[in-house]
Amino acid sequence: MHVLLLRPVPGNDRFGLGPFFRIEPLGLEYVAAALEAHGHRTTVADLRYSRPLKSLLRATRPALVGIACMHALETDEALALAADVRRASPESFILIGGHSAAAYPAPFFTSSIDAICATDGELAVPALADALEKGRSPSQVPGLLLPWNATSTSPACAIW
């Protein structure tokens, strides 16, 4: 399975804490290494420096797209990115993770997001990719919050 891991462009990059966000997406790189150890192909893209999203989606055709939301100040950008991915690649499973998403997941319960990683991505994301590849339900993957949608049997969310 091909997995695309995205770091959104933070809107606050020039002000306040912006200089502290100018670091490589190390968390996504750890998740990518864990995915590759499970036999999955990965592409990590820091959208501040990579080619445009639609080009990435066309080139990789990912079955799973993971979006990092490391700080509450990035919430709007992460949500907008998830919506853009949903429009451009409706067949992809969209996962959001990172400190902010795990600590305060409520804003991410939208139709653009299929699951929220509420634990270590190095554990949950490879398990999710394995489950999706084998046709198993994401509800069986520990550490995920699954927003309710029309295909879900959960009234609100499930976490393992």
Q: Is 155 domain-assigned?
A: no
Higher pLDDT, 141 or 13: 141
Domain ranges, residue 49: 2-145
Contacts of 138 (CB under 8 A, 6+ apart): 93, 114, 115, 128, 131, 132, 144, 146
As for how many domains the chain has, the answer is 1
Question: What does the pLDDT read at residue 159?
Answer: 45
151 assigned to some structural domain: no
- Is residue 150, in this structure, part of any structural domain at all? no
In a domain, 158, yes or no: no
Nearest by Cα to 87 from 98, 96, 79, 75:
79
Q: Is residue 136 part of a domain?
A: yes
17 or 82, higher pLDDT = 82
pLDDT on residue 21: 60
Q: Is 90 exceeded by the pLDDT of residue 154?
A: no
What is the per-residue pLDDT for 19? 61
Q: What is the pLDDT of residues 64-112, one digit of tens each?
A: 999 999 888 889 999 999 999 999 999 999 999 999 999 999 999 999 9
Task: Please report whether residue 114 resides in a domain.
Answer: yes
| Over residues 131-150, mean pLDDT | 87
Q: Which two tokens stand for residue 97?
A: 């993770």
Task: Look up the pTM and report it.
Answer: 0.87
Which CATH number goes with the domain that contains 92? 3.40.50.280
Q: Quick one: pLDDT at residue 9?
A: 86
Residue 136 is predicted with a pLDDT of: 96
Q: What value does the mean pLDDT take over residues 128-139? A: 96
Could you tell me if residue 80 is inside a domain? yes
Q: What is the pLDDT of residues 20-71, one digit of tens each?
A: 666 678 889 999 999 999 999 999 999 988 889 999 999 999 999 999 998 8
CA distance 38 to 14: 38
Q: Is residue 66 part of a domain?
A: yes
